[in-house]
Amino acid sequence: MPPPAVFPLPSGSDPLPASSGNNGSPEAARLFNDNAAGAAQTQTEEQRRASALNQAQNLQAASDIYTSASYQRAESLGEALFNGIGGVPQALSPLYLAAGSKESQGFKLGPFTLHPILSAGLNYGSTSGRGASGVNGFYGSVSPAFSLTLGDPVTGRMLTAQYTGSLTFGDTDSNHARYDQSLFLNGTLNFVKLNLGFGLDFSQLTSSDRDFGGQAVDREIIGLSFYGSYLFSEKTNVSASVQVPIRLYSRGDSSEGVNGTVFANYVYSPLTTFGLGISVGTVGVERNDFQVYEQILTRLTYIATQKLSFNGTLGYEFRQTESRDVTNPVFGFGLNLAIRDGTNLSLNAERRVLNSASNLGANYTDTTVLLSLGQRLGTLVQLVATAGYENSAYQGVTTGVSSNRNDNQLVLQTALTYRFKERWLVSEIISYSKDFSNQNSFQAFQNSLQLTYVF
């Protein structure tokens, strides 16, 4: 599957932010940016020739991090944006909001650096629609989070872990407390010509799910990836990755799959890489036909400056089931621009095919466009605003199944954070989503006041 977009950085962080849903990992964005910056330094022509091999490696490492972080996500970009930890959009979680804190020095645990964060919130949620369910009324939340780092991104040898949890209680529609959690792992091991890495993205959620028409459903979304690249010369390299997406649902159809991708890449300049690739994968669904797919892909990585970058993939997919064959164009790209100090803008889009957990014998083609703005207001206030549009077109892939379901979802999210005291942050987070469907439309609103302490 083509990768969608680079992971986000908090408003006011340096540089190259982007919106993502699931998986908004500040550390993944920092890894990408650190390697991208190394490839984008201004040099004389003689220096360029002398360091071409090193710059090509930096550019490829940046692309590898981007690709791994994107591939290991086992849900669509729009779903990742809509899904939240404890009802709070994951990209606006305490870990995300506090990631750029200059006050946090962390704790040294041998070779590791630990950054704990604790947040408490007063929240209001409302979910409406035929069959829709979710948080309604006021409720409380406590959210522990931490990041754990080993190594240095400058060396290309680094291991990071990020965890966010949320205990919610007092919801009038639920007689018991709920606990959502997410874990992101990423490791890189870079040598002179060889780059290796792995990633794990895990989310355990109890919130509303768009595929289920806004109904709350317990689910675990897991993505595992391994990747590597080898630099044959300053102009040519090969990269490969293996991904294992797993989607487990308490009801509906769970699924698991495996995917392998190989790219041959050409470094046109120290800042630009072109690639041609193929991808082959399988998907096994509980009550659906076994699926096999192949993709022909092209990709472009362009890092103009430390303030402007683009990473995109375009291709065509051929998918076979036991009953029928289906073809679809697929793509994913992220454009990131640091307009000025403290102002960051990103545009992300993707199109991919996923199996439906709620509609027996059906897949859906998901197309998402996201626009995100990060703005630092003075030295103490940060604003993050995201607008997203998602279209999900369903299609039967099993004999006797014909689905004409079509969903169009609009998502708006804002977070305003004020650092009122050293290590203390207060955040107002608002999220609204409206799903226009020819079957089960719904809408959800979330308002959260969060108090966060950065250790």
In this model, does residue 381 exceed pLDDT 80? yes
Question: Identity (one letter) of the amino acid at 107?
Answer: F
Task: Flag the least confident range among 58-72, 99-113, 128-142.
Answer: 58-72
pLDDT tens string 217-226: 899 999 898 9
Q: How many CA atoms lie within 13 A of 18 on its CB side?
A: 33
User: Whose CA is closest to 11, among 452, 433, 427?
Assistant: 427
List Cα–Cα distances, 183 to 22, 73, 94, 147, 223, in angstroms.
Answer: 11, 12, 14, 10, 11
Cα distance between residue 359 and residue 405, in whole Å: 9
Task: Flag the least confident range among 3-7, 165-169, 205-209.
Answer: 3-7
Cα distance between residue 347 and residue 324, in whole Å: 35
Cα distance between residue 137 and residue 121, in whole Å: 14
User: Whose CA is closest to 374, among 408, 323, 406, 338?
Assistant: 338
For residues 156 and 189, the answer to whether their CB atoms sit within 8 Å is yes
Q: Residue 249 — pLDDT band, cuts 50, 70, 90?
A: very high
Cα distance between residue 107 and residue 424, in whole Å: 17
**pLDDT at site 68:** 44
User: Whose CA is closest to 63, among 17, 28, 34, 32?
Assistant: 32
Residue 152 CB neighbour total at 10 angstroms: 10
User: Whose CA is closest to 354, among 122, 142, 73?
Assistant: 73
Say if domain 26-454 classifies as CATH 2.40.160.
yes
Residue 391 CB neighbour total at 10 angstroms: 17
Q: Residue 329 — pLDDT band, cuts 50, 70, 90?
A: very high
Q: Residue 96 — pLDDT band, cuts 50, 70, 90?
A: low
**pLDDT at site 314:** 94
In this model, does residue 65 exceed pLDDT 50? no
pLDDT tens string 393-417: 998 888 777 788 999 999 999 989 9
Query: Which one is predicted more confidently, 90 or 317?
Result: 317
Phi-psi sector, 286: left (phi>0), alpha (psi -120 to 50), beta = alpha
- DSSP one-letter string for 346-412: EEEEEEEEEE-SSSTTEEEEEEEEEEEEEEEETTTEEEEEEEEEEEEEEEE-STT-----EEEEEEE
**pLDDT at site 353:** 92
**pLDDT at site 136:** 77
**pLDDT at site 192:** 85
Q: Which two tokens stand for residue 103?
A: 């006050």
